[in-house]
Amino acid sequence: MSAEILNGKSLAADMRLDIASQVADLKEKTGITPGLGVILVGVDPASTSYITAKERACEEAGMYSEDVRLPAETTENEILALVQKMNNDPKINGILVQLPLPKHISESAVINAIAPEKDVDGFTPVNVGRMMIGQTCFLPCTPHGIIQMLLKAGVETSGKNAVVVGRSNIVGKPVAQLLMRKAEGGNATVTVCHTGTKDLKSFTLQADILVVAAGRPNTVTGDMIKPGATVIDVGVNRIPDETRPRGYRLAGDVDFESAKERASLITPVPGGVGPMTITMLLYNTLESARRATEK
Ligand code: GUN
């Protein structure tokens, strides 16, 4: 058996066309162009390429984007002041501070400084708390993108066993939360595995839906997958490869070759979850602009 590929790239392209037409509509009706403020500190190559992709997607959707790239030595106070400025800028509906930040800066202090109504990443305690208790909020982009992919692919989640590998604030914890919600794309029985889990395979073999966000290549191999499962690979690992023009290739956290022989549906890396993350960022920024017009 060879799994069907869950193509995030084409799904994201369809959703972005729809978002672009809604942006044009909003502009025509209200004169407002949704705006995203992006802050990148340092020169981490992966973060730089994510940010570039996010900005390009904004422009393609007809949104305004403001890009601030700062040196790694920037102080926490300078970043806090910039966040404050964006909080008060009516052209900016969404603020994105790319993580991770350099070690001398407190990520929680910076996240806490973002106005919850502009927190299109869904990282502030207010949005995290609202998500937890089912109130209106900005859902974090990667977990929301994963749920959208499952919905669009017609994957039943209700009553199924979902196993999440990884407990990060950005993916593992929130995707577990969304999968357990009593809502469309949720109502699953969710298990969260992490570096403290003993015998990971005994859990992953129970998964009808397996979400892997461990940050380590080959965390899951084919023998760890329940036959017929849906596998969502969130990992983006740069594997040195001199035969490639950039000197590396991208690999997920799942060994794709062995996994596709057991799964029925699997996301590739690249071209799986990544494009959906960016799409949900556009979705949240549009939503934020809409809410701003309603005030
Ligand atoms: N770093 C890795 N993923 C993300 C994300 O979705 N948002 C931000 N701000 N930083 C990240």
Candidates 86, 154, 153, 77; CA nearest to 114 is 86
Enter the tokens of residue 193. Answer: 């595995």
Enter the tokens of residue 241. Answer: 């490869």
Q: What is the pLDDT of residues 26-82, one digit of tens each?
A: 999 999 999 999 999 999 999 999 999 999 999 999 999 999 999 999 999 999 999
What's the predicted TM-score (pTM) here? 0.97
Number of structural domains (the chain) is: 2
Any bridge partners for residue 239, and if so which? 249
**What was the pLDDT predicted at 245?**
94
Known active-site residue 54:
yes
Q: How far is the CA of 2 from the centre of ligand 1 (A)?
A: 32
Q: What is the pLDDT of residues 2-36, one digit of tens each?
A: 999 999 999 999 999 999 999 999 999 999 999 99
Asked if residue 146 and residue 107 are part of one domain, the reply reads no
In this structure, are residues 42 and 71 in contact, taking their beta carbons and an 8 Å threshold?
A: yes
Cα(82)–Cα(105) distance, integer angstroms: 14
Cα(92)–Cα(120) distance, integer angstroms: 11
Q: Is the pLDDT of residue 174 over 80?
A: yes
Residue of 44, 49, 99, 168 to mutate, ligand 1, most atoms within 8 A of C-beta = 99
> Does any domain span residue 133?
no
Q: Is the pLDDT of residue 295 over 90?
A: no
User: Which stretch of DSSP H or E encloses residue 249?
Assistant: strand 248-251
Q: Is the pLDDT of residue 264 over 90?
A: yes
Q: Which domain holds residue 239?
A: 141-274
Cα(162)–Cα(189) distance, integer angstroms: 6
> Does any domain span residue 18?
no
* CATH number where 226 lies: 3.40.50.720
> Does any domain span residue 216?
yes
> Does any domain span residue 6?
no
Asked if residue 111 and residue 165 are part of one domain, the reply reads no
Candidates 76, 71, 140, 82; CA nearest to 109 is 76
Cα(133)–Cα(169) distance, integer angstroms: 16
Known active-site residue 121:
yes
Q: What is the pLDDT of residues 97-143, one digit of tens each?
A: 999 999 999 999 999 999 999 999 999 999 999 999 999 999 999 99
